[in-house]
Amino acid sequence: MYAIEADNLHRTYRTSSGWIRRTRRTITAVDGVSFQVPPGELFGLLGPNGAGKTTTIKILNTLLLPTGGTARIHGLDVTRHTAEVRRRIGYVFGGDRGLYDRLSALDNLRYFAELYEVDPRVQRRRIEELLELVGLTGRQKERVEGYSRGMKQRLHIARGLLHDPDVIFLDEPTLGVDPVAARDLRAMIAELVRSGRTVLLTTHYMFEAEELCDRIGVITSGRMRALGTPGELKRHAQDRVVVEAEVYGVDEEQLDALRAERGVRGVTVDQRGMLQVIVVQCDIDGDAEPERFRSFVRQSLAHLKLGRVEVREPTLEDAYVGIVTGQEAAAPETTAVLS
Amino acid sequence: MNGFASTARLVVVGGMTSYRALFNWTTPSMYIGTLFASPLFQLLFFVYVGRGLGVAGDEFLIVGNAVLSCSVAGIFGGTMAIANERRYGTLGTVLLSPRSRAAIFLGRGLPYVLNGALVSVTMLGAAALLLGWRTPVDRLPALVLTTLVGAIACTAFGLTLGSVGLRLRDIWLVTNITSALMLLLTGVIVPSGELPALLRGIGSVLPLTHSVAAARHITDGDGFGAAGPDLLIEVGIAVAYTLIAVVLLRVFETEARRRAVLDAM
Ligand SMILES: Nc1ncnc2c1ncn2[C@@H]1O[C@H](COP(=O)(O)OP(=O)(O)O)[C@@H](O)[C@H]1O
Ligand SMILES: [Mg+2]
C-alpha cells in the first residue's frame, strides 16, 4: 500500500473582486495531478511559484477538498476518513507565521500536543526529545517572537512531529532561511526519512531536491510535467547541450535573438553582480552541433564585453528549467511523463 | 486516559494556554488598566453624574456598572480567543487537529468567564470601599452567581463574534460598536423602560440585560426567587450564543475546505 496516493486531483478556486460590478474568475490551481509515494520515500514536488504545490499539499492534508479526483494516505481517503488521516500526518509550512508568538516554544508545543491528542503521560518526554532533535533545547522557555527565522522553522518541524505522524508534508521549509540554517534543516529532513517516515517536500530549489529526494515530480500550471528519480529527470536533457556565456550588459532584445535560433530551447539569465551568466539550452542532433551553438552564441554577443563561453553537459537544474520553460509553450498532450 | 478526562483536559489546559497566546492584554499594565482601571473610572463617573444631576440612586448605577464591567473581558476576550488566529496564521494548524471543535474553541472561553466575573466582583468591592455602598451579606452569593452568569453570556457572545471574525476581516469594528451599544441597550445605566420598543427588543437578546435585571431584584431584597426567571433567560441567551458560535465554526470550516474562503489558513 502506498503512503500517499494522488489520483487525478483537480482543484479550482473561485475568486470575485469589485464591489458594484463583481467580476468572478475561476482559477485552476491543480489540473489532474497523479502520483504515488511508497512508505519511507522522500518525494519532492518541484515547480515555480503558483504551480499548485501548496494546493496539492492542502488537499492531501485535508485542509482543502479536491474539486475532482481522490487522494489516500495509507489507503485512507482524505475526504471520507478525515480524522484518521489527520492522526497520521504532520504538516509543516515555511514562513514566519503559524506559531503563537507570545508563547514560549515549550508552551506552543504543549498547546499543540493537546490539540493533536498526545497522551499527557508521554507529552513531557516527547517534547523534550523533539526540542533535542531540532536543536532548541535550552531555548524552549523563550518567547517565539524573539526567535530567528531558522529557529521558528525548527519549532514548526517539532510541532509537526508531536503526534509522531508517519507521513509528513513539508511545504517550502527552507523559504527565507539563511544558508547555514537551511543546511541544518535539510539534515533534519534526511534524518526523518532515515527514521522510516514518508516525506513529501515542496521546494523551488533544485539543488535541495537533488540532495534530498528519492524521486521528484515537476509541476507547472497545476500539471505534472515530469516525474522520476533525479537521474531519470536528467535524461530529459540528454539530447541537449548547454552553452554558458559570461557577458556584461546584455538586453532582452539580444536574448530574444538567441531564442529565435533553430534548436535553441530556452535562454535564461543569472545576474551575478555586474556579470550576467547566460544559459542557452540547445537541442542537438549530430556531433558537430555543440560547437555550432557555441560559435553562434559567441557571434551573437560579439559586440558586448564577453567573458568565458563554454559548452557543458546539462545538469538536473538545466533539465528542470527545460521542463518548466518548455512546457509553458508546449501543448499539455505532448507532456512526456517518466516513471 | 478516557475520552471524558481527555476532553476536560483540552478544555481546561488548552483553554488556559490559549488565553496567554491570544489575549492581547496579558501584560500586567494592560491587564489592570483595561480590565480593572477603566471600568472603575466609568463606575465612579456614572455614580457622580447620578449624584450631581439627581437622575438615579447610587445602588442602581453601582450594580449596573459592576454587571457591565465583565463585558470587556467577555466580549473582547471572546472575540480575540478565536479571531486572533488570523493574526498569528495558526488557524490551519489548529484545524488539522482531529479533536472536537467545540472542546477546542469553547474551552478558550473559560478563562474569560472567570476573568469577567472577577472584574464584576472587584467593582462591587471597590464601590463598597470608595462609595460606601452596602448590601446585606446574605445577598452576596446570589449576586456573585448573577455576575458569573452574565460573564458566561458575554463570553458566549464574544465567541460568536470571534467566529464571525474568521471570515470578516473587520470584526473589531463590530465588537467595538456592540460593546458601546451595551451601555445604552442592556439597562445597566439607562432603565430599559425608558427605551423605545425597538431598542428594548434589541437589548433583550443581548447578554447582560437579564442578568442586570436579576441583580437588581437581589439588591432590592426581592429574594432569589424573584431573580430566577431573569437568570434563567440569561442562561438561555448564553446557551444560544454558544450554539451559534459552534454552528458558525462548523459552517466556516466546511466552507473553507470546499471553497477556500478562510484566508487565515
Ligand atoms: N485561496 C485561494 N484563492 C484563490 N486562488 C488561490 C488560492 N490559493 C491559491 N490560489 C492560486 O492557485 C494557484 C496555485 O497556488 P499554490 O498552490 O499556492 O501554488 P504554489 O504553492 O506552487 O506556489 C496560484 O495561481 C494561486 O494564485
Ligand atoms: Mg506554495
Helices H, strands E: what count in chain A? 11, 14
Pick from A303-307, A320-324, B88-92, B202-206: least confident: A320-324
* Nearest CA among B162, B145, B105 for reference residue B235: B145
Half-sphere exposure of A41 (CA within 13 A, CB side): 20
Q: Are A103 and B14 in contact (CB under 8 A)?
A: no
> Does the pLDDT value for residue B1 go beyond 50?
yes
Q: Where are the domains of chain A?
A: 4-234, 239-312
Cα dihedral across residues B227, B232, B233, B237: positive or negative: positive
Q: Can you tell me the mean pLDDT for A294-314?
A: 89
Beta-strand pair A42-46/A198-203: parallel
Is residue B265, in this structure, part of any structural domain at all?
A: no
Q: Can you tell me the mean pLDDT for A118-143?
A: 94
Q: How far is the CA of A61 from the centre of ligand 2 (A)?
A: 14
For an interface test with B, the pick among A73, A112, A114 (most B C-beta atoms closer than 10 Å) comes out as A114
The total number of residues written for chain A in this structure: 339
Q: Is the Cβ pair B14, A101 closer than 8 Å?
A: no
Is A100 part of the contact surface with chain B (CB cutoff 8 Å)? Answer: yes
For an interface test with B, the pick among A111, A141, A175 (most B C-beta atoms closer than 10 Å) comes out as A111
Distance, CA of B14 to CA of B202 (rounded, Å): 34
Nearest to B260 among A13, A84, A100 (CB): A13
Q: Which atom of ligand 1 is nearest to the CA of A51?
A: 22
> Does the pLDDT value for residue A206 go beyond 70?
yes
Residue A291's pLDDT band (cuts 50, 70, 90): confident
Residue with CA nearest ligand 1 atom 24: A50
- If you average pLDDT over every residue of chain B, what do you get? 93
Q: Is the Cβ pair B20, A116 closer than 8 Å?
A: no
Give the number of other CB atoms < 10 A from CB of residue B194. 9
pLDDT of B264 = 55
Q: Which three cell numbers stand for residue A187?
A: 539534515
Give the number of other CB atoms < 10 A from CB of residue A110. 21
Architecture of domain A4-234: 3-Layer(aba) Sandwich (3.40)
Q: What is the DSSP string of A130-172?
A: HHHHTT-TT-TTSBGGG--HHHHHHHHHHHHHTT--SEEEEES
Is this prediction's pTM over 0.80? yes
Cβ-Cβ contacts under 8 Å for A228 (sequence gap 6 or more): A215, A216, A338, A339
pLDDT of A95 = 85
Q: How far is the CA of B28 from the centre of ligand 2 (A)?
A: 40
Q: Which residue range is the domain that position B37 belongs to?
A: 3-259
Distance, CA of B57 to CA of B127 (rounded, Å): 13
pLDDT in tens, A39-59: 999 999 999 999 999 999 999
Half-sphere exposure of A301 (CA within 13 A, CB side): 29
pLDDT of B241 = 98
- Higher-pLDDT residue of A330 and B48 is B48
Q: Which three cell numbers stand for residue B232?
A: 434563567
Pick from A187-201, A287-301, B176-190: least confident: A287-301
Long-range contacts of A134-142 (CB under 8 A, 24+ apart): A134/A158, A134/A188, A135/A184, A136/A105, A139/A105, A140/A104, A140/A105, A140/A106, A140/A109, A141/A104, A141/A105, A141/A106, A142/A104, A142/A105
Number of domains in chain B: 1
pLDDT in tens, A219-228: 999 999 999 9
Is residue B45, in this structure, part of any structural domain at all?
A: yes
> Does the pLDDT value for residue A263 go beyond 60?
yes
Cβ-Cβ contacts under 8 Å for B186 (sequence gap 6 or more): B68, B192, B203, B206, B207, B208, B209, B212
Q: Can you tell me the mean pLDDT for A268-297?
A: 87
pLDDT of B265 = 61
Nearest to A103 among B14, B21, B256 (CB): B21
For residue A102, list chain B residues with Cβ-Cβ distance below 8 A. Answer: 20-21, 26
- Higher-pLDDT residue of A325 and B220 is B220
Q: Which residue of A has its CA nearest to B18?
A: A111
> Does the pLDDT value for residue B118 go beyond 50?
yes
Helices H, strands E: what count in chain B? 16, 0
Is residue B25, in this structure, part of any structural domain at all?
A: yes
Decide whether any atom of ligand 1 lies within 6 Å of the A50 Cβ.
yes
pLDDT of B263 = 63
Q: Is the Cβ pair A114, B94 closer than 8 Å?
A: no
> Does the pLDDT value for residue A339 go beyond 50?
no
> Does the pLDDT value for residue A272 go beyond 90?
no
Is residue B264, in this structure, part of any structural domain at all?
A: no
Is residue B154, in this structure, part of any structural domain at all?
A: yes
Q: How far is the CA of B17 from the centre of ligand 2 (A)?
A: 30
- Higher-pLDDT residue of A176 and B264 is A176
Q: Can you tell me the mean pLDDT for B202-227?
A: 95
- CATH superfamily for A239-312 is ACT domain (3.30.70.260)
Is A147 part of the contact surface with chain B (CB cutoff 8 Å)? Answer: no
- The phi, psi pair for A156, rounded to 5°, reads -55, -45
Cβ-Cβ contacts under 8 Å for A128 (sequence gap 6 or more): A137
- The phi, psi pair for B107, rounded to 5°, reads -60, -30
Residue A186's pLDDT band (cuts 50, 70, 90): very high
Give the number of other CB atoms < 10 A from CB of residue A312. 12
pLDDT in tens, B92-107: 999 999 999 999 999 9
Residue B259's pLDDT band (cuts 50, 70, 90): confident
> Does the pLDDT value for residue B45 go beyond 80?
yes
Distance, CA of B238 to CA of B150 (rounded, Å): 8
- C-alpha Rg value of chain A to the nearest Å: 23
Residue B120's alpha-carbon distances to A171, A207, A307, B77, in angstroms, are 47, 61, 79, 15
> Does the pLDDT value for residue A334 go beyond 60?
no
- If you average pLDDT over every residue of chain A, what do you get? 90
pLDDT of A336 = 41
Distance from CA of B82 to the nearest CA of A (A): 13
Write the single-letter amino acid at B198.
L
Distance from CA of A142 to the nearest CA of B (A): 14
> Does the pLDDT value for residue A275 go beyond 70?
yes
